[in-house]
Amino acid sequence: MRRRVSEHPELHRLIEVVMDLGRKPLARFPSGDFVLSDHPITVFFLSTANKEPRSDLAKRSLV
């Protein structure tokens, strides 16, 4: 997912990344939502994602 966001042509306009349990992850841009994966977010994914150090991309989306 990180790679798909970083390769998006509107990366500089990223609003947020949404990872709701049971739904496909999305990157939100002013032009619309971009599906990051066809696989819904799972409890396991959220538990492991929260333990990884934040990348520059993740820090940027929190600002």
Q: What is the C-alpha to C-alpha distance for residues 28 and 62, in angstroms, rounded to an integer? A: 13
Both tokens assigned to 17: 């990344």
User: Quick one: pLDDT at residue 52?
Assistant: 60
**2-49 pLDDT, tens per residue?**
889 989 999 999 999 999 999 999 999 999 999 999 999 999 988 887
User: Quick one: pLDDT at residue 62?
Assistant: 46
The domain spans of the chain are: 2-62
> What's the whole-model pTM score?
0.73
Say which residue, 30 or 53, is predicted with more confidence. Answer: 30
Q: What is the C-alpha to C-alpha distance for residues 33 and 46, in angstroms, rounded to an integer? A: 20
